[in-house]
Amino acid sequence: MSFSKRLRYILELIAVRALAVIINLLPRGLAEAAGRGFGRLAFLVDRKHRQVALDNLEAVLAPELLRSQREEIARSAFENTALTVIDLVRIPSMSEGDLSEFVKVAGYENIKNALSAGKGVILITAHIGSWEMGFLIGRLVDVPFSLLYRPLNNPYVDRFLKSLREPGRARLIPKQGAAFAVVSRLRRNEVVGFPMDQVVRKDFVVVPFMGRPAATTSFPAAVALKTGAVVVPGFCLRLQGGRHLVDFGPPIPIVRSGNREQDILDNTARLNQVIEKAIRQNPHQWLWLHNRWKRFREMDSPKSDLSDKGTVTNL
């Protein structure tokens, strides 16, 4: 690492840690108000991501919503992202009393019943609501829980953010080379979380998402087919008054026709439908400023391509 890059990374770490200190000094209500204000400001000044959000909304919701409604959703997405940063910073200081007061759990029986099969649980999720609160799942339902994540380019900031997430009892699995760790933990009958709503560059298939072709990770479907793990959706939604709802849905049936490539394609599409339903029910809480449809915008039919369009996960 060059001296200039190291210096930049250290300065970024200092800025992030200073922000964390300020957030923790603020009362909960004031911190939330500040987060919403910062989100609205970011919507005004961050032209690049504002345009990404508006383009995404126009592409998938234009027939249903007026431009003014789409702009309001985009603004709310910025606010929600800022609030999620505040939630992350506050995770280490959350007591058991805070959890019982501010975080409710619905559908726990779906996790419990899925674990009774003895083959582990694949929890598919998305960047919706307060997704960082998902790191508290291990504490909330008292099960061994791991979550796939992409490490930041700045290793110092990455370590600091990991230290904020660790009190939630979630073990982090870097996405690169994750197959062995994921399969091992499922075979120990644990829960492994898979965020599915981000654009990917490898191990993907192209299937519909919100009515548009999207490069979607094939990893959850491939792992479910290999291990027999039960697939359950789970989302941490934001409620009024700074409260949250961790909602586990019923298991998603996995199709097994014997054609592995087709099964991965079909099952990934089914999982996308569940993610899409959650977003359409809570459009103000999804990360619209992520360029989800950056690739394959012109494709108009579901397909997988093992040449230059993508690769199916090999386990």
- Residues 188-245 have pLDDT tens digits of 999 999 999 998 888 899 999 998 999 999 999 999 999 999 999 999 999 988 899 9
Provide the pLDDT for residue 296.
Answer: 56
Q: Which two tokens stand for residue 40?
A: 């609205």
pLDDT at 272: 97
CA distance linking residue 134 with residue 256, whole number of Å: 30
Predicted local confidence at residue 306, as pLDDT: 34
pLDDT at 92: 87
Q: What is the pTM of this model?
A: 0.90
Taking 70 as the threshold, does the pLDDT of residue 307 lie above it?
A: no
Has residue 315 got a pLDDT over 70?
Answer: no
Q: Environment class of residue 227 by beta-carbon count within 10 Å: exposed (0-12), middle (13-18) or buried (19+)?
A: middle
Report the percent of the chain where pLDDT is more than 90: 73
Q: Report the DSSP pairing between strands 230-238 and 121-125.
A: parallel
Average of pLDDT values for 124-136?
A: 92
> Residues 105, 140: contact at Cβ < 8 Å?
yes
Report whether 199 contacts 237 (CB < 8 A). no
Burial pattern 118-128, b for ≥16 Cβ within 10 A else e, equals: ebbbbbbbbbb
Tell me what pLDDT residue 300 has: 46
Per residue in 52-79, pLDDT (tens digit) is 999 999 999 988 889 999 999 999 999 9
pLDDT at 311 > cutoff 70: no
What span, in angstroms and rounded, lies between the C-alpha atoms of 218 and 4?
38
Residues 166-187 pLDDT 10s: 887 888 999 888 999 999 999 9
Number of Cβ within 10 Å of residue 112's Cβ equals 13
Return all residues near 276 (Cβ < 8 A) that are at least 6 apart: 209, 210
Q: What is the mean pLDDT of residues 259-284?
A: 96
Q: How far apart are the first and last CA of the chain?
A: 33
- Across all residues in the chain, what is the average pLDDT? 90
Per-residue pLDDT at 251: 98
